[in-house]
A and B are shown apart, each in its own frame.
Chain A
Amino acid sequence: MTAHESLRSQEGPWFGAFGGTFMPEPLMAAIDELAACYDEARRDPAFLAEFQRLSRDYTGRPSLLTEATRLSERAGARILLKREDLNHTGSHKINNVLGQALVAQRLGKTRLIAETGAGQHGVATATAAALFGMECVVYMGEVDTQRQALNVARMRLLGATVVPVTSGSRTLKDAINEGLRDWVANVDSTHYLMGTVAGPHPFPAMVRDFHRAIGEEAREQVIAMTGGLPDAVLACVGGGSNAMGIFHAFLDDADVRLIGLEAAGDGAATERHALSIGRGAPGLLHGMRTYLLQDDDGQTLESHSISAGLDYPGVGPEHAWLSDIGRAEYLPVSDTEAMDAFLALTRTEGIIPAIESAHAIAGALRLAEERPGSTLVVSLSGRGDKDVATAGRWFGLLDEDAEQA
């Protein structure tokens, strides 16, 4: 990498030694078709204009950058929240879904399938399907359908079919496997709407591009608000789409620390975590080479996190690369730290974050202790409505009757 080459110019399939296209032959034609279609679309002013129109008129972009005054006072640093939680459907996921639905339409596909962990991506996909008049099937690990029952109902309200996945660990990675199996059988009519910056090329670069506005807006907003760049940008990382979206605009700002917070579950020192970069090793999963939780035989290990959206044993290949070249740091946040941060934000700002996003808040609170007075931009990737039951149980706030209901 020369000093002149922008870190923002990566288009895949490879991000350093990560990424690629490791798919079964029957899906290669669809993957190639998708890559060619997106490559054309991203240069097509009409496509970009339509995407921007939807982002503005439907999603509500640009999203706000909110000064978290009381949280900042308590933390001892200036914390600015990038409010993706205010997007239509309640998280950043809608950005990517609208972009890919447009690509699907361009490909002549009439059916969208998706995997979902917490349900946010599934809800966003079901929403786009309703908006575009497409059929929608969402695969969701059985474990996740239980811990995110409200989102299951939301998807069904929107007209989607939700299929609980009972294979493997019954979580996000198995939902992806099931989605890919559906895709191979129905590839003529169907677009697989990957929900994160993972999977085979072109998904990592394409999904990042659809989320790039997060960072581009935040960079302008923080400069307007503070007169300069922040000291650090923080985001939670499961597959890593909100983090890639907000990091991307800052990649060439060498003085801005980029910090991804991985879910440490029971703790970074335990075996129950989702620290793909922190504790994983390079390998193949879901069509890409990336950091992966795996055993000595190359079997994917189950990840663990209180947050369904971060409960994934792999990570987007661009993050794997950014970690390897030292441009971004990836740090662990345990369930307990995340839930403490969840409560702190809720009680100081009146903003209930998604538990996923609470990991980023926790990272900011920790960094504030290390670097008092610094300016931190935090991706508040989603709102916590879906997590009220989990949080209620965690903090013991549910009445016995409510618990049983």
Chain B
Amino acid sequence: MSRTEDAIRASGGRALIGYLPVGYPDLATSVDAAVAMAEAGATAIELGVPYSDPGMDGPVIQAATQATLERGFRLEELFEGVAAIAARTDAPVLVMTYWNPVLRFGVERFAERLAAAGGAGLITPDLTPENAGEWLAAADRHDLDRVFLAAPSSSDARIDAAIAASRGFVYTVSTMGTTGARSDVDQAARALSDRIAAHAAAQGTTAMRCVGLGISTGEQVRDVLEYADGAIVGSALVRALGDGGVPAVRELTASLAAGAARVDASQADEAQPDAPAAATIDGGAAPAAAAADQKGANA
């Protein structure tokens, strides 16, 4: 059972996941911005924890998280932020965190607090499945999703491990690099997404594949969703928040969501053989319903 996977399925496998760091530029604004993303069509929220040594992050996210740390961010704000967002939207809230803050806080204690706040799970960029034993057990106890990364460079065995350890989706790293908008999302993303699907099928299971790194426009979202179940956008949203505040985040999310919508208005009358009859154009409504059911079950 996975709240995130349910939400992705409810989107018809056309999920849009928006990333913002919690506490940037302040806690209240980050909460408003996350809620705005959900309202504007994001299927799920990826909430980043500012960290002193963010090895996977490019300049835009680094600058935002560093500024957040410099203004005195404390980990308690994360749980406060998750709870505030979860109270205002049914979109699952996944926390993206480097591992040392969790380790220092205590893995079990962190899982317990995250679940209590209404969080859906963790995305762990520098924790690979072979080091994740304690977290996997805690995630099971607290019914949390756990998202591991697969990269174009990953061996077959490592892809198998990522599929087996992940719940929610497999973070499909589009390109060999750090976070940041790119004009073209690497062809490697399509190949990796296909490899993950093939490996999952060979394991007799399915794996949700959400592609991240480099995606910043609705057009790119549409391209990615040709071969994946979700598109993750980070730096572009962080930049929008820094430059234009919550309204800019709402506006950008809406244009990204248009890329995730199953049927373009211009093509609505044309035959779409692979589209279910009841396809929704609003990427946000369906997952909200699914997540609401899940919330009921947890309460």
A and B: bona fide binding partners:
yes
A residues with a Cβ closer than 8 A to B are: 20-30, 32, 167-168, 173-174, 177, 180-181, 184-185, 187, 281, 283-287, 292, 294, 296-300
Is there an interface contact between A168 and B66, defined as CB atoms closer than 8 Å?
yes
A23 touches B52 (CB 8 A): no
Which residue on B lies nearest to A299, using beta carbons?
B52
Additional A-B contact list (7), CB under 8 Å, known A184-B178, A284-B99: A26-B173, A173-B53, A187-B153, A286-B53, A287-B126, A294-B104, A298-B104
Residues of A within 8 A of B154 (CB): 25-26, 28-29
Cα distance A187–B51 in the bound complex, in angstroms: 24
Contact in complex: A168, B149 (CB < 8 Å) = no
Q: In the assembled complex, which residues on chain B have CB atoms less than 8 Å from the CB atom of A297? A: 74-75, 101, 104-105
Chain A residues in 8 Å Cβ range of B127 = 22
Question: B69 interface residue, CB < 8 Å from A?
Answer: yes
Q: Which residue of B lies closest to A292 (CB)?
A: B100
Question: Which residues of chain B are within 8 angstroms of A25 by Cβ–Cβ distance?
Answer: 125, 128, 148-151, 154, 158, 162, 173
Take A177-B54, A284-B126, A297-B75 as given contacts and tell me if A28 and B178 are in contact as well, using a CB distance cutoff of 8 Å.
no
Q: How far is the CA of A49 from the CA of B125 in the complex (A)?
A: 40
What's the minimum C-beta distance from B68 to chain A, rounded to whole angstroms? Answer: 11
How long is the Cα–Cα vector from A29 to B54 in the complex, in angstroms? 20
Q: Does the CB pair B103–A283 fall under 8 Å?
A: yes
Q: How far is the CA of A287 from the CA of B99 in the complex (A)?
A: 10
Contacts of A26 in B (CB 8 A): 56, 149, 151-154, 173, 176
A297, closest chain B residue (CB) = B75
**Known pairs A184-B176, A283-B103, A284-B103; A299 contacts B51 (CB<8 A):** yes
8 Å CB interface, B52-89 against A: 52-56, 58, 62, 66, 69, 74-75
Interface core residue of A20, A21, A168, A184 (most chain B CB under 10 Å)? A184
The B interface is mostly helix, strand or loop, or mixed, namely loop
- How many cross-chain pairs have Cβ atoms below 8 Å apart between A and B? 110
Q: Does B177 lie at the interface of the complex (its beta carbon under 8 Å from any beta carbon of A)?
A: yes
Contact B126 A28, beta carbon cutoff 8 Å:
no
State the Cβ distance, A247 to closest chain B Cβ, in Å: 27
Rounded to whole angstroms, the CA-CA distance of A298 and B103 in the bound complex is 8
Looking at the complex, which one of A20, A27, A32, A174 makes contact with B131 (CB distance below 8 Å)? A20
Q: Which residue of chain B has the shortest Cβ distance to A169 in the bound complex?
A: B52
B266 at the interface (CB under 8 A from A): no
**What residues of chain A lie closer than 8 Å to B104, measured between beta carbons?**
281, 283, 294, 296-298
Quick one: which of B175-207 are within 8 Å of A by CB?
176-178
Contact with A along B135-171 (1 / 0, CB 8 A): 0000000000000111111110010001000000000
Q: Nearest residue in A to B178 (C-beta to C-beta)?
A: A181
Q: Is B27 an interface residue (CB 8 A)?
A: no
Please indicate which of the listed interface residues A22, A283, A297 has the most CB atoms of chain B within 10 Å of its own CB. Answer: A297
**When chains A and B are docked, how far (Å) is the Cα of A168 from the Cα of B62?**
9
Is B102 at the interface (CB under 8 A from chain A)?
A: yes
Which residues from chain B contact A167 at a C-beta distance below 8 Å?
62, 66
* Bound Cα distance A83, B99 (Å): 40
CB contact between A294 and one of B54, B66, B100, B162 (< 8 Å): that residue: B100
| Max chain B C-beta neighbours (<10 A), residue from A26, A32, A168, A296 | A26
- List residues 32-59 of chain B with CB under 8 A from any CB of chain A: 51-56, 58
**In the bound complex, how far is the Cα of B176 from the Cα of A185, in angstroms?**
5
Cα A32 to Cα B154 in complex, Å, equals: 10
Query: What is the distance, in angstroms, from B98's C-beta to the closest C-beta of chain A?
Result: 8
Decide if A24 touches B55 in the complex (CB within 8 Å). yes
Q: In the docked arrangement, what's the CA distance between A285 and B104, Å?
A: 12
Judge whether B53 and A30 touch: CB under 8 Å. no
Let me know if B62 and A23 touch, CB within 8 A.
Answer: no
- The answer to whether A28 and B128 touch (CB under 8 A), given A167-B62, A285-B53, is yes
Min Cβ gap A143→B in Å is 15
Beta-carbon nearest neighbor of A283 in chain B = B100
- Bound Cα distance A299, B75 (Å): 10
Query: Within the assembled complex, what's the spacing in Å between the Cα atoms of A316 and B15?
Result: 42
CA of A261 to CA of B119, assembled, Å: 45
For B51, B75, B99, B153, which residue has the most chain A Cβ atoms within 10 angstroms?
B153
Docked-complex contact B55 and A181, CB < 8 angstroms: yes
Contact A187 B53 (CB under 8 A): no
Q: Could you say which residues of chain B place their CB within 8 Å of the CB of A181?
A: 55-56, 58, 177-178
Query: A185, B128: Cβ atoms under 8 Å?
Result: no
A225 CB → nearest B CB, Å: 44
Let me know if B158 and A28 touch, CB within 8 A: yes
Contact with A along B97-137 (1 / 0, CB 8 A): 00111111100000000000000000001111011000000
Interchain Cβ contacts under 8 Å between A and B, 25 examples: A21-B131, A22-B128, A22-B131, A24-B56, A24-B151, A25-B149, A25-B151, A26-B151, A26-B154, A27-B153, A29-B151, A29-B153, A29-B154, A30-B153, A168-B52, A168-B66, A181-B177, A184-B177, A187-B153, A285-B100, A297-B104, A297-B105, A298-B100, A298-B102, A299-B51
Residues of B within 8 A of A180 (CB): 55
